[in-house]
Structure formats: structure tokens, C-alpha cells
Amino acid sequence: MPVNSFDDYLLTWKPEKSKLSSPLYRSIASMLEYDIINGFLLPHTKLPPQRELADYLDINLSTMTRAFKLCEVKGLIYAITGSGTYVAPSVRNAIYSKEYQNIIEMGIIHPIDETNKMVSDTVKNIVNKDYLESLLNYSYPLGMPYHLMAAKKWIEKANLDMSVDNISITSGGQNTLALALTTMFNPGDKLAVDVYTYPNFIELANLLHIQLVPVKSDETGMIPAELEAVCNLVQGVYLIPTCQNPTAVTMDMQRRKELAKIINTHRLTLIEDDIFSFLGEENLLPISHFVPNHFVYGISTSKSINSGLRIGYVAYSNQFIDKIQNGIFNLNVKTSSFNAEVITELINNGVAEQIVLRKKQLIQERNKIYTKYFNIPANELKLSFFRWLPIPLKAAVNIEARALEQGIQIYHSDRFLTKKHSEAQFIRLSISSPKDTNELETGLLTLKNMLGNTMK
Amino acid sequence: MPVNSFDDYLLTWKPEKSKLSSPLYRSIASMLEYDIINGFLLPHTKLPPQRELADYLDINLSTMTRAFKLCEVKGLIYAITGSGTYVAPSVRNAIYSKEYQNIIEMGIIHPIDETNKMVSDTVKNIVNKDYLESLLNYSYPLGMPYHLMAAKKWIEKANLDMSVDNISITSGGQNTLALALTTMFNPGDKLAVDVYTYPNFIELANLLHIQLVPVKSDETGMIPAELEAVCNLVQGVYLIPTCQNPTAVTMDMQRRKELAKIINTHRLTLIEDDIFSFLGEENLLPISHFVPNHFVYGISTSKSINSGLRIGYVAYSNQFIDKIQNGIFNLNVKTSSFNAEVITELINNGVAEQIVLRKKQLIQERNKIYTKYFNIPANELKLSFFRWLPIPLKAAVNIEARALEQGIQIYHSDRFLTKKHSEAQFIRLSISSPKDTNELETGLLTLKNMLGNTMK
DNA sequence: TAATTTGTACCTTAACATTTG
DNA sequence: CCAAATGTTAAGGTACAAATT
């Protein structure tokens, strides 16, 4: 029975006692869900402490915890130990292409589509091959043997030597991540990630109910000691070793080895995303190389070769072969052989390398322009498609909307944040996306002026 | 403290007491996992009752339950109330293409690839279009506007009238199902399905930790009263209204309306898979038509138009727009515009309809051959790509392996079963997959002889 | 920095449902 | 059809950890 009378007590949310039914925790959760969905509780409203509600409803604290947990996994509320439970905002942070008119795109990272002329030439050649029909049927769900040979070749360029038995073809980088998370982890599992990471990965993890545990970084990437501190808590770790998104930080060999050692010692599962390896130094080895028994390694061709064809490669440890390959059947059945054929042909006829070379030239030029307006810290990748610009706190307010008013799409660091609170403020600027270098200059100049007052 | 001494007690599995550590339930689960993975416990081994283990380890019963639950979600064990807990077999039932030599394929359903000549002609035309490069970039992740118009047109042929705002392009039928399950349900949710259903759907649900609740059918499909009986338990229902896989049963309009009524009344989410609508009667309306506020409707073009290009269409209620579209970004980012263009062109230039017509002719011919050997029940779809053949219990033993020895791949009904135990025995015969009608006849004759002794 | 607030994790108790014999 | 065996579920109790003041 309640210790006090609550009749005149002010709670921000009061479930109706009379509507309680068995099971208690479900009936409470559905009342809360109803009130949030119907707008009676606005985003960021602080709910009463679990203890107060439990007392008010005359039930046990942990029954209340369970009710809240149900709503939390649905994304309706979020809880901070020591602080309280709050109604979740319904904003989505995932980044994807919108068809804007007259907006300079510096938000989403376009992979420099100028090289697509070289791709379309190869497409034209392929349709004249006499085996075209064999590319249009159901066979080889994991990739045709010579498609896998090309994949192996491409993965070797990133300094990972794999048997074709440990390689499959996926429908792009995001698809590889979805595959890795659904097959290697269970809902409720925890995964270590950088404090700032790729927002579509954050949303994917949310969708699959995999909890992210933020780990601090320094100028060389994730700090090994910080990973070690959480590794009894987590089942795996997600890393982008070259040109981490959004910070543009690349790990040196020492850091890669240090992280690998921790992953091996604690038998974590490594999800390595090597999407930008083609922009880094040629002698860097993937972390997976040092974690031969616990890795899933994804290397998309969307940024390096062509984005529209949606082809990614995934390589994995022997012990994961069954899980990954079965996951591919479950999520996709297969990836189109025609699309894989185009990428295979580009790799085999050397055009893929030309494309990479050309992209590097173009992005070097754009980075040079960038330095006319802002600095590039020494630890960040020179040839990055995007830059991570620190801004003062007072400049951060509504900065995305304010930039959009000036005709520029950018993203604020909060989108990339896996923690609840942010300290430092940044914006990520995609310098590969503006249509040409003139547009890039216009964008950078506008931003410089916008930030100007507050930057000094 | 244990009631009895267990030193001389015979348990099929004895966790080492000395290795217990906190948290108890995790340490027990990992000991069990270790013993299963390393082969100390063989599939179908019956584990000791939870109560006995709890007593032996001197811990609480529900701590033991929790430990077992951990292993169960990983697929290592399965439990039957009243009977016991058993080590799970590591077999996977998912059906996918293998590259067999000299085997007559009557297992996996190939969609009659003979019509792919017509597809490759259209592919050749497309590469000469001057907008080819625009098909190779990042834009329009949900589908280009005129691709969505073609999707609308194709969905209308299945008698569902949708706005393009409620349609997206996916990477095929399985991808649509993965999308629907990840976005519309949470792990632990329950979904009503036919007792026999599509095995890749069963595996997908397992992968995503969505529990399937089998619902009985009669000769017109799922029985409405049986669905009603479980609908307080489940959050949704998965239905294949035309040519249910594997039973080849098609629901009449009355059955569709009856099921729709229950879905509406109990606010279930309908996942409707209309993959075979092109083979059914032209005046049948999808169930989604009668459930305008609770449906996700998938119609793959893999069986009807072309399987290799991996294009599916998904239509959905207004209230699901955000969830589905966000799910597409999370799982795939986008589906290749080039591939969508090919299917669009085939729909717009009328070739898709010719393909369907031709497929219907070919499958009619093959069904005619089938009737020379086996009967087709009156309630099953005439133009089905596959047949569902009842067999006597004594014929069922090892039937897949025995058929394979004779050079024929077939699938036994247990693969399709969502319940633990089966009563009746069937085999599913794909009659669309043998290379030609001669091969089909050889396959059917061989099976007839194999079953001959036991069929009478 | 220490005390307090607040959410989290683990384990226990007890009632319940299904299968088996 | 009942009783026993066996797994499942809800809810209570306690210790702990993180954030706040």
C-alpha cells in the first residue's frame, strides 16, 4: 500500500490506477505508449522516477523498471541512470539522399560521380557478351566464382589476403553492416563504437536492438585502454580504421595492433568497415589481419568504384562462414550477378584502378581548396571525402537549419554522437558532393562567413 | 544447499560447480554453449530438467531458466514444456540454389529462365539510352519517380490501387520480408503463420528472434477461427493469399474478407506476400485491400519477370510510411536504379506481360505432364510452379537423401513446418525447375517408381 | 567530495501452462 | 481424465552503479 497519499501529488505522468490489469508491466507500458503516441507526453518530458511511480501504483520497483524497459526498446523513452527517464524525440538522424533544388550538398557524402562515364562504358561492353543471360538468373547466390576472384583481388589491394571461401558479395556497405549485425549479434547485445560514428550505423543498431557503448578516441583513433575498460560488457566492436566517419582519423599500424590484441584477448567480434581504405596509405593492414578468428570485414565498392550498382564485398573468419552465408540467404537471397559482373570487369580490366586514381586527384584538388578556408589537422586523412570542423558552442545552435537557409546542407556532430550528451561541437562537411569546385568554393565561403563572427 | 548428494547421480550434462561465477546465469550459459559447440553434447541430447540442475548447482530454478533462455535464443537448444530441453540440431532448412551437376532440380523453385532472352534484349536497349549515367549514381534511394509509376502499374495488375507515396523499390522478395519484419516487429514479438510455410521466412524470423505461431488451414487457406483464437497472442500475421508456398492453396474472396475482418478487429499487422499473384485468377483482390491501415504488401518481380535483377515492390499503409522508408535506408540504402530501370522498361513496353503469358503457357504444359503421374487436388492452383504431394509415413523416412541418390532434389514437408511435430507427410516438387520437359518427365517417373511400393 | 537520487542487474518466489504417461 | 513432470511467466527483493547536487 502506498506510503503517502498521492491525490494532491504532482507527477508529470500519472497512469490510471483503475486501468491496471495483469500483467502489470505490460498494462503500464501500453498506457505510457498510448500517452506518448497520442501526444499527451511531449519529447524530452521527464517522467516521474520509477520508485515514485511504483509507490504510487503500489507495485514493486522492478515491475516498473520492466514496464519502462518495454517502452525503451520501442524507442519511446530513454533513461539515464541517476538523472531520470525521458520521452524520446521522434527525430531520425539517418543520412540519405534527398532531391534538393538549388542546395549545395555538403551533408551526404557523394562519391564523385564524374568517374561514372568510365563505368557506363564497361556496362555497354558487358551487354554484348554472349553469356549475358547467365547474369540474369538465380544461380550462384554468394557470387559467381570469378566474381569472387575479383573480390579477392580487390580485398588484397587493401592488404587482406583471403580465400574465396571466406568472401561473399553483398548489396553494398550498409547491406554488409546489416548482415554482420543480424548474424553476429542478438538483440540486447552490446557493441563498442567510437563516440562519434556513422549515423546510419547508429540507426541500424537501434533498429536491430543492439546497444552501442561509446568508447573514447584520441588523434589516432579509438583508445585501446578505453576499449579494454568496456570489453567485459560488450560482445563486439565496430571500427573504421581508415578515415573514420565522421572524424577523418586514420589509425596507424601500432594502434591497429594494440586494438587487435584486446579483441583477441577478450574474444570480441570485430566488425571492420574499410570503406575508405582506397584513400589511405597503401601499406596499412586491416585490423582483421591481426584478428584472424573473430572478424567480419566489409569493403564496399560504392565510394571507390561506383555507388549506383550497390556492390560490396564481405570477408569473414572460418568460424563465421555458415552464419554469414546463411544470413545472406535470409536477408537478400542473392545480389544481382549483372551488377557484380560490372564491378568484376572494372577490376579486371584496370578501369577500377583508374577510377580510384582519378577520384584521388579530384579530392586532392578539393582538399586544397578547403585549406584556403579552414585548416586540416595533421592527424586527419589528407585525401578524405569529408572534413570534421570544430565550431564554438555558440555557433552550434540550429546550425544545420541556418546553413540550409543559406543554401548549404551540412551535418552537426550531434547526429554522429553515440552518447547522450556532447561536449565539443563540430560540423561534418562533405567536400566531394558539391557539383564542381566552384560550388565547393561558394559553399566554403558562405560557411566561413557564417561562422566568421564566432570563430575568433 | 542441495537436498541430495549428486556425486553418484547420473545427469546427461553436469556443469562444473567450481567454474560457476557471477553472474550465474551467464556462466552457466557459456559452459553449456562451450559443451555444445565443442561436440560434447550431441544434437537432440536431452538435458537434465531445469529443476534438477538448479538443485544440483544449489541455485534458484528461474536462474537456471534464464541460463537456458540465453542458449535458446542463440539456437543452441530448444525446449518443450512438459517434455524437456534438448540440444538443437545444427541443420539449416533454408532453401537456396546449389550448383549441382547431373541432378534434376525439383527442390528450389526456379522461375522458368527461358524467358530471359526477352529480358536481355531490353537490357541491351537500356545501355544505349543517353541517361545511362544517371542510373549509376546515388540518387532516389526509394526509387526514381517513373520507376515508382511502373511499380504502381504492376501492383494494380494484382488489383491493389496504391499511391506512389506508399510504394518503394526493394532488392527482391526476401529483402521485402526482411524489411517488413525488422521494421514492423520487435524481437520477441509473435507472428501468426500457416502451419506449413516458406522455409526462408521461417529462418528469417528465427534470425530476427520473431516467434512464429502456427495457425491451421483448410483447403481454402488459413482458417479464420483459428487465427482469431491466437490473435490476442500475436502482433501480426504473414499470409501468401495466392498459391501459398508450399501447399499451392489459393484463398477465394470470401476467405480473404474473413481474414481481413479479424486483422482489422484485432489491429494485427498484415504481411502479405503476393509473389504468385500473376499465376492466379485475375479478379482476386489482395487481403491488403480490405486492411487499408495495417498492411505491408510485397510483390516480387523475381518469379514473374526476372529473378536475377533482384527487384521487388513493397506497398504499405500511410501509418507505416516512415518506418518502412527508414528501414530501407538502414538495410540497403537503396536498390540499384539500373536494375529497377530494366524492370520498369519491361513493364512499360509490354514485354513483362508477354513474359508472364509465356511462363503461364510453359507451366501449364508442365502441370499437364505432372497429372500423368500424380493428381492435382481441385483446391490447388492449376498454374502453380510447384506441387504438394502427400506421401505415406513409411515413404517419408530419409526421402530427400533417397531421392538425391536417384538424382533428384526434392524437399520434405518438415522443412516447411512451423510446429515441432508433424502429422501428415508431403513432398514439395518444383515442376518449373527441371531444365526441360524431358527432364521433368524423368524426374516424375523416378519419383513415381520410388514411391510406387508405398503409395498403394 | 560526499550524500542523494535514480536507473540497472541479478536472483528469488510463486503461480501457471503444456506435455506425458 | 487425472497426476506428475517440466518449462514459462510475472512480480518481488536487494545490491549496485551512474549522474546529480
* Tens-place pLDDT, residues A113-147: 999 999 999 999 999 999 999 999 888 888 899 99
pLDDT value of residue B158: 97
pTM for the whole structure: 0.92
Question: Is B171 within 8 Å of A172 when comparing Cβ atoms?
Answer: no
Share of chain B above pLDDT 70, in %: 94
pLDDT over threshold 90, residue B127: yes
pLDDT in tens, A254-279: 999 999 999 998 889 999 999 999 99
Reported as a pLDDT band with limits 50, 70 and 90, residue B92 is low
Which residues in chain A have their CB less than 8 angstroms from residue B302's CB? Answer: 138
Residue B104 β-bridge partners:
B408
Reported as a pLDDT band with limits 50, 70 and 90, residue A4 is very low
Reported as a pLDDT band with limits 50, 70 and 90, residue A5 is very low
**B76-80, B352-356, B383-387: which has the minimum mean pLDDT?**
B76-80
Chosen from A105, A120, A127, A138 to mutate, greatest number of chain B CBs within 10 A: A138
- CB–CB of B160/B210 below 8 Å? no
A55 touches strand C (CB under 7 A): no
- Average pLDDT of B406-431? 87
Give nucleotides in strand D with any atom < 7 A to a protein C-beta: 4-15, 17-20
pLDDT value of residue B420: 65
A185 touches strand C (CB under 7 A): no
Quickly give B253 CA vs C16 C1' distance in Å: 41
- CB–CB of A191/A182 below 8 Å? no
Q: How far is CA A190 from CA A70, A208, A239, in A?
A: 17, 11, 14
Quickly give B321 CA vs D9 C1' distance in Å: 35
User: In terms of Cα–Cα distance, which of A17, A18, A13 is closest to A71?
Assistant: A13
Q: Would you mind telling me the total number of residues written for chain B in this entry?
A: 456
CB neighbour list of residue B189: distance below 8 Å, 6 or more residues apart: B210, B211, B234, B235, B236
Four-CA torsion B443, B445, B449, B451, nearest 10 degrees: 60
Nearest CB to A132 within list B97, B120, B186: B120
pLDDT value of residue A141: 85
pLDDT value of residue B377: 95
pLDDT value of residue A3: 40
What is the spatial distance between Cα B218 and Cα B414, in angstroms, rounded to a whole number? 18
Give φ, ψ of A8 to 5 degrees.
-105, 15
What is the chain B residue with the closest CA to A132?
A: B120
Question: Is B336 within 8 Å of A97 when comparing Cβ atoms?
Answer: no
pLDDT value of residue B319: 93
pLDDT value of residue A17: 86
What is the spatial distance between Cα B333 and Cα A96, in angstroms, rounded to a whole number? 7
User: In terms of Cα–Cα distance, which of A436, A435, A393, A442 is closest to A413?
Assistant: A393
What is the spatial distance between Cα A286 and Cα A240, in angstroms, rounded to a whole number? 10
pLDDT value of residue A454: 56
- A245 contacts chain B (CB < 8 A): no
Reported as a pLDDT band with limits 50, 70 and 90, residue B421 is low
Question: Is A141 within 8 Å of B97 when comparing Cβ atoms?
Answer: yes
Chosen from B26, B97, B119, B134 to mutate, greatest number of chain A CBs within 10 A: B97
pLDDT value of residue A233: 78
pLDDT in tens, A285-339: 999 999 999 999 999 999 999 999 999 999 999 999 999 999 999 999 899 999 9
Which residues in chain A have their CB less than 8 angstroms from residue B334's CB? Answer: 97, 310
Which residues in chain A have their CB less than 8 angstroms from residue B108's CB? Answer: 138
The interaxial angle of helices B351-373 and B337-348, nearest 10 deg, is 80
- Average pLDDT of A399-407? 93
pLDDT value of residue A418: 83
Residue A148 region by backbone torsions, left for phi larger than 0, else alpha for psi between -120 and 50, else beta: alpha
pLDDT value of residue B119: 96
Give φ, ψ of A125 to 5 degrees.
-65, -40
CA distance A326 to chain B (A): 8
**Pairing mode of beta strands B46-47, B425-430:** unpaired
pLDDT over threshold 90, residue A79: no
User: In terms of Cα–Cα distance, which of A155, A201, A142, A208 is closest to A174?
Assistant: A201
Question: Is B140 within 8 Å of A333 when comparing Cβ atoms?
Answer: no
- CB–CB of B172/B194 below 8 Å? no
B232 touches strand C (CB under 7 A): no
Which residues in chain B have their CB less than 8 angstroms from residue A113's CB? Answer: 133, 136-138
What is the chain B residue with the closest CA to A309?
A: B336
What is the chain B residue with the closest CA to A93?
A: B326
Nearest CB to A172 within list B108, B128, B333: B333
- A96 contacts chain B (CB < 8 A): yes
- A225 contacts chain B (CB < 8 A): no
Q: Which protein residues have a C-beta closer than 7 A to any atom of strand D?
A: A 22-26, 59-63, 66, 80-83; B 47, 49-52, 61-62, 65, 68-69, 72, 79-85
- In degrees, rounded to 5, the angle at the alpha carbon of residue B284 between the alpha carbons of residues B248 and B254 is 85
CA distance A105 to chain B (A): 12
A242 touches strand C (CB under 7 A): no
What is the chain B residue with the closest CA to A311?
A: B336
- CB–CB of A167/A156 below 8 Å? no
Nearest CB to B330 within list A73, A119, A204: A204
- A435 contacts chain B (CB < 8 A): no
Reported as a pLDDT band with limits 50, 70 and 90, residue B454 is low
Return the closest nucleotide (C1') to the Cα of B80. D7
pLDDT value of residue B88: 86
What is the spatial distance between Cα B339 and Cα A362, in angstroms, rounded to a whole number? 29
The C-alpha cell of A415 is what?
547526429
Chosen from A273, A319, A331, A351 to mutate, greatest number of chain B CBs within 10 A: A331
- CB–CB of A385/A430 below 8 Å? yes
pLDDT value of residue A8: 45
Question: Is A306 within 8 Å of B127 when comparing Cβ atoms?
Answer: no
- Average pLDDT of A419-434? 86
pLDDT value of residue B54: 92
- B448 contacts chain A (CB < 8 A): no
A68 touches strand C (CB under 7 A): yes
The C-alpha cell of B159 is what?
488489383
User: In terms of Cα–Cα distance, which of B209, B318, B39 is closest to A189?
Assistant: B209
pLDDT over threshold 50, residue A400: yes
- pLDDT averaged over chain A? 90
Q: Would you mind telling me the total number of residues written for chain A in this entry?
A: 456
pLDDT in tens, B321-352: 999 999 999 999 899 999 999 999 999 999 99
Closest protein residue to C16 using CA and C1' atoms?
B81
What is the spatial distance between Cα B179 and Cα A42, in angstroms, rounded to a whole number? 29
CA distance B330 to chain A (A): 5
What is the spatial distance between Cα A127 and Cα A257, in angstroms, rounded to a whole number? 45
